[in-house]
Amino acid sequence: MASSHLLHNQSLFFPSPFKNRCFSNAPPTKLHFQRTPFVKASNKQLEIVYDPDERLNKLADEVDKEAPFSRLTLFSPCKINVFLRITSKREDGYHDLASLFHTVSLGDIIKFSLSPSKTTDRLSTNVSGVPLDDRNLIIKALNLYRKKTGSSNFFWVHLDKKVPTGAGLGGGSSNAATALWAANQFNGCVATERELQEWSSEIGSDIPFFFSHGAAYCTGRGEIVKDISPPLPFDIPMVLIKPKEACPTAEVYKHLQVDQTSNVDPLTLLEKISMNGISQDVCINDLEPPAFEVLPSLKRLKQRVTAAGRGQYDAVFMSGSGSTIVGIGSPDPPQFVYDDEDYSDVFLSDANFINREENEWYKELVSTTVSDPSEASATF
């Protein structure tokens, strides 16, 4: 899979020369791009056509003239579970896990603008089927931030969705973490990253991970996050393959039999990965057997990727509760994905491991993402 990795600024604005624990690329007050109207001419009339974003930009600038900036665009990366051990079932019905989480370069783009409303956030997106009300984790995160800090800021938010849902990639959790980070930037960074991380566990178990630096050993329900040094090189390529069908997490856990999970010590897995890198024997996911019961075709997909990719992938495994299959070691999917009609509607993306710097949010690596293999036959 052809892939270019060009580092993009996470903000729409020019970088500030000032450094503090707040967003290090925060723009100067009221600095924004000038948008020039263009003219359509004909022999009958002259029509002035304006960029509609200009009006929204002006409205956002008028909301709070004391705010450090009025608009912000951030990258919202997804994650994979390099290994995922389920260690016990708790009395509250949840399960304890131990997992190596790592952010990867596939992600969404979220645009935030201050809204003149003092009662409602407004969310839009480029895909259907995504809730736009307070069922969405972005709205839940903004509500949580206002509850914790007393902030009166409300937002227009546009979500450019690239991470598939029901994939085991934590796309919604990442969106929530990104929204908390953004709200804190608009509010002068009154909360620490540690506080944002702690608060986020109230609305989702995977959200706290994204306040790590990109690699973490997570335990409990996933909300206990131990930041670790990146154990794997960032230049290791991978391919993400997700069938059209999703794996409902609740259904996967219903089929889980804890007494039949792996008995390998997760800390041993972490040590092996840190010392020796990725191999099939360390990429254990205890949720694979129940996920394959829920979605038998997913088991077949993993088997076919493994067989077709011998010598191509260092490891093939499912991420999270599914239904994404990860192939580590090559950005290219196996040829059968293009040849077999059964896989004509799979989602495909190449990816790399990424992290973030202290007091900065994640930055996008431009990477080829393909959702329709028929459109990509000339790319690979």
- C-alpha radius of gyration, the chain, whole number: 22
Cβ-Cβ contacts under 8 Å for 13 (sequence gap 6 or more): 25, 26, 27, 28, 31, 32, 69, 71, 72
The answer to whether residue 79 is catalytic is: yes
Catalytic residue among 61, 108, 121, 206: 206
Residue type, 246: A
3-state SS, 138-182, equals HHHHHHHHHHHHCCCCCEEEEEECCCCCCCCCCHHHHHHHHHHHH
Q: Give me the DSSP letters along 234-276.
A: TT-EEEEEE-SS---HHHHHHT--GGGS----HHHHHHHHHHH
Cβ-Cβ contacts under 8 Å for 111 (sequence gap 6 or more): 12, 71, 72, 73, 157, 158, 160
Bond preceding residue 330 cis, omega within 30 of 0: no
Sign of CA dihedral 309, 310, 311, 314: positive
Exposure class string for 321-337: b at 16+ Cβ within 10 A, else e: bbbbbbbbbbbbbbeeb
User: CA 191, CA 49: separation in Å to the nearest integer?
Assistant: 42
Cβ-Cβ contacts under 8 Å for 36 (sequence gap 6 or more): none
Contact (CB, 8 A) for 166 and 323: yes
Exposure class string for 46-64: b at 16+ Cβ within 10 A, else e: eeeeeeeeeebbeebbebe
Beta carbons within 10 angstroms of residue 366's beta carbon: 12
Catalytic residue among 79, 162, 242, 302: 79
Q: Which two tokens mark 3? A: 């892939």
Q: What is the separation, in whole angstroms, between the first and last Cα of the chain?
A: 4
Q: Which residues are catalytic?
A: 79, 206
